[in-house]
Amino acid sequence: MHHSPFTTSRTGAGGGTAVETQTIGMELALSQLLSRFDDTEKSIIGVHGLGGMGKTTLLKTPNNELKENTRDYHVVIMIEVANSETLNVVDMQKIIANRLGLPWNESETERERSTFLRRALRRKKFVVLLDDVWKKFQLADVGIPTPSSDNGCKLIVASRSNQVCVEMGDKEPMEMPCLNENESLRLFRSNLMAEVSAAIDHDSDMRESAMDIIQSCGGLPLALNVVGCALACSMDAVEWKQAARAMRAILVEDQSLE
Ligand SMILES: Nc1ncnc2c1ncn2[C@@H]1O[C@H](COP(=O)(O)OP(=O)(O)OP(=O)(O)O)[C@@H](O)[C@H]1O
Ligand SMILES: [Mg+2]
């Protein structure tokens, strides 16, 4: 029996609110996340990877699907912690209270609220997704009970930092896999106008530049989208060659920084 509230199916036409555009090559990352999620011994799941690798996109996929499938969990809460040098506890508490349909009282202190929220969440089987965590923090300070195999709750933490994932409670966080060459090409092409995309098949110079660009992107979705958008309407093989050269230069520069 498979109890996972995640499915690998996509929200197709008419299937609820389509939050993002179609993802490409997310299957491996999703299956890695799911197998961890299905492990009853694993209550805290960390996902780390470079900026633009698709961590938020990955978290949003199961989040959307979880909301539609509340069979196993009472509540799924997605919290974008985002860029918090100074953690915004109040904002996080607001999201949780709102999601639980609890009243919000401005005059309460953070501490009072954390006690109140923890009490409310303790009665639920919850999944909390914390996106973009930059620094370790105590779940209790916000009002999130510690998920465990006893309470059956789950926490998914996404961060650029492996170390932060470890500190948040996953000793072996998963690394966001990068796209392979084939997926990279598909994602890159998905940004192009149809006739430009077709030109890759016909024009050997453009194809060569496209493959150079894909190499330079190193399977990073953000990079593939940015350069794909930049070339979306260009049928000029010279322009493509320049783009490929520019991308290569960025790659070399990057490596010399390390
Ligand atoms: N598999 C994919 N298919 C299509 N687009 C993708 C894919 N992965 C990521 N993207 C796109 O790439 C961009 C960056 O992805 P995302 O924001 O998920 O990265 P991230 O890992 O969360 O980065 P950060 O560390 O900066 O938060 C987004 O515009 C997203 O839509
Ligand atoms: Mg993100």
Q: What is the average pLDDT across 5-30? A: 58
Atom of ligand 1 nearest to the CA of 183: 1
Q: Which ligand sits nearest to residue 227's alpha carbon?
A: 1
CB 47 within 8 A of CB 169: no
Q: What is the average pLDDT across 200-223? A: 96
For residue 46, the cross-strand partners are: 157
Q: Is the CB of 154 under 6 A from ligand 1?
A: no
Return mean pLDDT, the chain: 87
pLDDT score for 7: 40
CA of 83 to the centre of ligand 2 (A): 10
- pLDDT confidence of 202, banded at 50, 70, 90? very high
Gap between the Cα atoms of 200 and 237, Å rounded: 10
Q: Which ligand sits nearest to residue 50's alpha carbon?
A: 1
Mutational test site, ligand 1, from 27, 28, 30, 56, max ligand atoms within 8 Å of CB:
56
Q: What is the average pLDDT across 168-174? A: 97
Atom of ligand 1 nearest to the CA of 190: 4
pLDDT score for 19: 44
CA distances from 58 to 23, 110, 222 (A): 9, 30, 13
Instruction: Supply 73's token pair.
Output: 């969990």
Confidence check: pLDDT of 48 > 90: yes
Ligand 1 atom 28, closest CA: 222
Q: Is the CB of 26 under 6 A from ligand 1?
A: yes
Order across the sheet with 154-159: list the strands: 75-80, 126-131, 154-159, 44-48, 174-175
Cα radius of gyration rounded to whole Å, the chain: 21
CB 184 within 8 A of CB 219: yes
Q: Which ligand sits nearest to residue 55's alpha carbon?
A: 1
pLDDT score for 69: 56
Q: Is the CB of 51 under 6 A from ligand 1?
A: yes
Gap between the Cα atoms of 29 and 147, Å rounded: 22
Residues in the chain, how many?
A: 258
- pLDDT confidence of 64, banded at 50, 70, 90? low
CB 157 within 8 A of CB 165: yes
> What's the pLDDT tens digit per position in 101-112?
999 999 999 999
